[in-house]
Amino acid sequence: MGDQVTDAICYRDAYARSTRATVEAVHRADDGVLEVILDRTVFYPGGGGQPADNGWLQRADADGSPSWPVESAAKAGPAIVHRIAASVAERGSAAALQAGDAVVAEIDWPRRHLLMRTHTALHALCGVVWRDHGALVTGGNMEPGRGRMDFEFESMSGDLVSSIEARVNAELAAAHPIHVRVLPRDEAFAIPDLIRTKINLLPPGISEIRVIDIEGLDLQADGGTHVANTSEVGRIHVTGYESKGRINKRIRMEVVDA
């Protein structure tokens, strides 16, 4: 779709819900989905286990103009592609979007905020497990309100999981501030234990590393969106645990209100 670059607001302000933007390019994909690139956006394009945002695009120059539901967003090099479902695009109105149009991009905020709470809860879980057990992360995933994380544990029991849950909830209630920083690669990798995953998933060529710092608990390289304080998460409830291999154990959790 060209050499467009999208200013991704979500990486520096996770609380931005909407923005005015200009359409840079429009393309119909083979599956009928309309792909729209904007010069700037609040949509998170997915990655690191966090799903992409959904939401809406609407013309910025007329009240009551039709809105087009964005089913997902994805990175395309330095650009972010907003995908409008084929069923909407086929109605014709979405196809009227063209380069140069002024629009408002708005995310589904309740869904995003729940993902932010969930992502921060998983980092708190990771921080407690690393601090108290020294176990590396071998995998993870999330959806709004629930997620799972795999750790290098040889054994796991109900008592251990209950203890981990209680310690994580104590840290969430402790109201740790959370900071986002972008560091030069060399400075970032000078931080002990910056990478808590079994496999380093950071591309070798990037010159800057984005890190999420839960003060006093967890400091990791991460590209997702987070709340500003652990107290905003609420509490976690461990919904299950299971063995995924000899030294690979999975903890499933959900986020509940405090």
Residues 126 and 81 in one domain: no
Return the minimum-mean-pLDDT range out of 27-31, 32-36, 204-208, 218-222. Answer: 204-208
The answer on 154 and 226 residing in a single domain is yes
| Per-residue model confidence as pLDDT tens digits over 63-113 | 666 689 999 999 999 999 999 987 765 555 555 789 999 999 999 999 999
In DSSP terms, 27 is beta-bridged to 35
CB 6 within 8 A of CB 41: yes
- Is pLDDT above 90 for 11? yes
Domain boundary among 89, 107, 125: 107
Q: How many domains does the chain have?
A: 2
Specify the DSSP class assigned to residue 3: S
The pLDDT assigned to 63 comes to 67
Task: Classify 134 in phi/psi space as left (phi over 0), alpha (psi -120 to 50) or beta.
Answer: left
Encode pLDDT of 27-62 as tens digits.
Answer: 988 888 999 999 999 999 999 899 999 999 998 876
Tell me the H-state helices in the chain: 86-89, 109-133, 158-173, 185-189
Q: Tokens 């009928």: give the residue.
A: 32
Q: Is the pLDDT of residue 199 over 60?
A: no
In this predicted model, what pLDDT tens digit does every residue of 100-136 receive, in sequence order? 999 999 999 999 999 999 999 999 999 999 999 999 9
Q: What is the CATH number of the domain that holds 39?
A: 2.40.30.130
Q: Quick one: 23 and 151 in the same domain? A: no
CB neighbours of 151 closer than 8 A, spacing ≥ 6? 129, 133, 135, 136, 137, 138, 248, 249, 250, 251
- In this prediction the pTM is 0.91
Q: What is the CATH number of the domain that holds 225?
A: 3.30.980.10
Q: What are the backbone dihedrals phi and psi of residue 52, each rounded to the nearest 5 degrees, phi first?
A: -70, 155
pLDDT value at position 91?
57
> 59 or 21: whose pLDDT is higher?
21
Tens-place pLDDT, residues 148-178: 999 999 999 999 999 999 999 999 999 999 9
> In the structure encoding, which two tokens stand for residue 166, read together?
């209680």
Q: Give 134-143 pLDDT, tens digit per residue.
A: 999 988 999 9
Average pLDDT, the chain: 90
252 & 133 share domain: yes
Residue 92 lies in domain: 7-107
Q: Which residues, in sequence order, are CB contacts of 161 under 8 Å at separation 6+?
A: 238, 241, 251
Spell out the alpha helix ranges (H) of 66-184. Answer: 86-89, 109-133, 158-173
